[in-house]
């Protein structure tokens, strides 16, 4: 057994502030998918931790990403997604091109020395893996593949990302620290207790369910149970894969037909987290199968929401300093907690 992180870290605003500075300001994070920028002159707003970002494709331009923060007095510039020539800040109407350049600022002509050139949106790093777009607020970040490790290879072994089509996004919020949500994703020790439906289909016994961590990634792989009969056996994917990319990106692939959902785990406040998942399917996957998967996945998601809110209630009580982790079944949680501790100490 080993010790958990101090439970005060799951409620303390100062810890979240330092995580913003030391983790989210320097990490590659999923922002969205290439389908959101399929057309020239499009953009979408996203978040890297609590840092607002905007990803754009200007006319005849490449995909670029910027801090979504007005260089005037700091209002968030873009919201949502769409096609536009420019992004206009809603506060005083400073207007930026999709290339980040400041194009117009009311009354700038009355301001001696107003230098448009130095007031563009601050550019950040952007890169892609298949249809997935990642941003890193740190312009000097190491290349994205170093963060992804062998996750792309593991995914490619069971699914062809190039054929996947985006179908929809789900979004919800939970009353728990982002770290509690990540940790819940990183073990299946709770599965037999809390996910009877999932555990009836996927073999979650410690000998069959594989856990591996390497660098900034963690992977879980669970085979279907023998003699399974549900919709999950109807397809070419033989086992589930759940990947996690530090600090906050989860990927789910269920057995059955070509399916993948992925998205970030975003801190909103020390004890509140936003979760969004983009669902992709193979072009031939039919709606009835998708409906079954959604029902199955929603059930698991609801069960997890109960668990993480319950953990938050316990750790916020403040009377116990921390807990214990199982070294085998919770090794990915331990790996995640080590990365947190290292980042905050560094």
Name the binder of 304 from Fe ion, ligand FES, none, CB < 5-8 A by kind: Fe ion
- Measured from each CB, the residue nearest to Fe ion is 304
Which residue, 57 or 243, is less far from Fe ion as judged by CB? 243
CB 29 within 8 A of CB 264: yes
Q: CA dist 277 to 16, 33, 126, 155, 314, Å?
A: 23, 11, 20, 17, 27
Rounded CA-CA distance 321/309 in Å is 18
CB 102 within 8 A of CB 95: yes
94-113 binders of ligand FES (CB under 6 A): 94
Shortest Cβ 119–ligand FES spacing (Å) = 10
Rounded CA-CA distance 81/66 in Å is 14
Which residue, 110 or 227, is less far from ligand FES as judged by CB? 110
Which residue, 201 or 304, is less far from Fe ion as judged by CB? 304
Which residue, 149 or 222, is less far from Fe ion as judged by CB? 222
Name the binder of 142 from ligand FES, Fe ion, none, CB < 5-8 A by kind: none
Q: Does 116 bind ligand FES (CB under 6 A)?
A: no
Name the binder of 271 from Fe ion, ligand FES, none, CB < 5-8 A by kind: none
Residue matched to tokens 């057995």:
255
Tell me the site size for ligand FES, rule CB under 6 A: 10
Q: Which residues, including other chains, have CB under 8 Å from residue 319's CB and lie 6 or more apart?
A: none
Among positions 16, 46, 67, 89, the unique one binding ligand FES when judged by CB under 6 A: 89
Site string for ligand FES, 297-316 (x = CB under 6 A): --------------------
Q: Which residues of 314-338 are buried (b: 16+ CB within 10 A; e: fewer)?
A: ebeeeeeeeeebeeebbbbbbbbbe
- Which residues of the shown chain bind Fe ion in the complex (CB under 5 A)? 304
58-87 binders of ligand FES (CB under 6 A): 70, 72-75
CA 76 to chain centre: 21
Shortest Cβ 60–ligand FES spacing (Å) = 27
Rounded CA-CA distance 5/24 in Å is 18
Which residue, 121 or 216, is less far from ligand FES as judged by CB? 121
Shortest Cβ 195–Fe ion spacing (Å) = 6
Rounded CA-CA distance 187/307 in Å is 13
Shortest Cβ 183–Fe ion spacing (Å) = 10
Shortest Cβ 88–ligand FES spacing (Å) = 8
Shortest Cβ 276–Fe ion spacing (Å) = 17
Name the binder of 310 from Fe ion, ligand FES, none, CB < 5-8 A by kind: none
Residues near ligand FES, by CB under 6 A: 70, 72-75, 89, 91-94
């Amino acid at each position: 057994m080993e010790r958990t992180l101090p439970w005060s870290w799951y409620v303390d605003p100062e810890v979240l502030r330092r995580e913003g500075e030391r983790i989210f300001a320097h990490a590659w994070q999923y922002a969205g998918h290439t389908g959101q920028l399929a057309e020239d002159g499009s953009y979408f707003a996203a978040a890297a931790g609590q840092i607002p970002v905007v990803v754009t494709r200007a006319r005849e331009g490449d995909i670029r990403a910027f801090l979504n923060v007005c260089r005037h007095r700091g209002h968030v510039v873009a919201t949502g997604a769409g096609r536009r020539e420019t992004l206009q800040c809603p506060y005083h109407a400073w207007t930026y091109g999709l290339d980040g350049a400041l194009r117009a600022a009311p009354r700038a002509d009355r301001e001696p020395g107003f230098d448009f050139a130095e007031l563009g949106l601050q550019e950040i790093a952007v890169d892609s893996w298949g249809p997935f777009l990642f941003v890193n607020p740190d312009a000097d970040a190491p290349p994205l593949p170093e963060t992804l490790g062998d996750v792309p290879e593991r995914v490619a072994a069971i699914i062809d990302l190039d054929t996947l089509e985006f179908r929809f996004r789900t979004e919800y919020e939970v009353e728990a620290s982002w770290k509690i949500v990540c940790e819940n994703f990183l073990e299946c020790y709770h599965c037999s207790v809390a996910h009877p439906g999932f555990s009836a289909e996927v073999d979650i016994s410690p000998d069959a369910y594989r856990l591996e961590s390497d660098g900034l990634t963690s992977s879980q792989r669970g085979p279907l149970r023998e003699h399974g009969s549900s919709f999950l056996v109807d397809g070419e994917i033989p086992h589930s894969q759940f990947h996690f990319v530090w600090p906050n990106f989860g990927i789910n692939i269920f057995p059955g037909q070509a399916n993948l959902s992925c998205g970030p785990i975003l801190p909103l406040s020390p004890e509140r987290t936003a979760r969004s998942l983009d669902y992709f399917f193979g072009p031939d996957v039919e709606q009835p199968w998708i409906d079954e998967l959604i029902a199955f996945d929603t059930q698991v998601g609801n069960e997890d929401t109960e668990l993480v809110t319950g953990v938050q209630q316990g750790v916020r009580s403040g009377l116990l300093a921390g807990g214990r982790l199982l070294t085998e079944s919770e090794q990915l949680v331990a790996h995640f907690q080590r990365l947190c501790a290292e980042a905050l100490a560094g």
